[in-house]
């Protein structure tokens, strides 16, 4: 990849995965999935430096959990999407109407294989 940055170990970093988790009441699962497509998925894919988005869904008991994984060429590209505090979760106006909790942070991973 042409865009590389230093990883936490100081080595060259290729692709970066940004992982967010959220949970909604199971009855709101389908509506929230559609909302995610309209908001986060659409915005991520439109941001320069994004190389893809995957959304995973799992219902356990009365809650539906979502893992939102976006792939990025660099931390600078993530900043374009998320702002200067890249560790802070990026929420949209209606998220509070769906989510059980607004988790404050996301996690970044170096992608080894894709």
Domain boundaries, the chain: 13-109
Residue 12 has what pLDDT? 55
Whether the pLDDT of residue 4 is over 60: the answer is: no
Confidence of residue 13 (pLDDT cuts 50, 70, 90): low
Residue 3 has what pLDDT? 39
Q: What is the mean pLDDT of residues 92-106?
A: 96
Q: Phi and psi for 98 in degrees, rounded to 5? A: -110, -50
Q: Strands 63-72 and 16-25: what pairing? A: antiparallel
Contacts of 19 by beta carbon, 8 Å cutoff, 6+ apart: 67, 68, 69, 106, 107, 108, 109
The Cα 36–Cα 41 span in angstroms is 6
How does DSSP assign 35-89, residue by residue?
A: HHIIIIIHHHHHSTTEEEEEEEEEEETTEEEEEEEEEES-HHHHHHHH-S-TTB-
Whether the pLDDT of residue 2 is over 60: the answer is: no
Q: Which of 89, 110, 6, 105 is nearest to 40 (CA)?
A: 89
- Topology of domain 13-109, CATH: Alpha-Beta Plaits (3.30.70)
Q: What is the mean pLDDT of residues 84-113?
A: 96
Whether the pLDDT of residue 1 is over 50: the answer is: no
Whether the pLDDT of residue 8 is over 60: the answer is: no
Q: pLDDT tens for residues 30-75?
A: 999 999 999 999 999 999 999 999 999 999 999 999 999 999 999 9
Let me know: does 69 contact 18? Beta carbons within 8 Å.
Answer: yes
Q: Tokens standing for 38?
A: 């309209």
- Mean pLDDT computed over every residue of the chain: 91
């Amino acid at each position: 990849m042409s865009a590389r940055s230093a990883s936490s170990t100081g080595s060259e970093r290729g692709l970066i995965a940004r992982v967010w988790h959220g949970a909604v009441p199971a009855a709101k699962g389908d509506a929230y999935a559609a909302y995610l497509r309209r908001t986060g998925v659409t915005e991520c894919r439109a941001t320069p430096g994004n190389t893809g988005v995957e959304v995973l869904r799992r219902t356990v008991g009365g809650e539906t959990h979502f893992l939102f994984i976006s792939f990025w060429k660099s931390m600078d590209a993530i900043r374009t999407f998320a702002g200067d505090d890249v560790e802070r979760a990026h929420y949209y106006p209606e998220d509070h109407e769906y989510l059980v909790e607004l988790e404050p942070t996301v996690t970044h991973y170096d992608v080894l294989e894709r």
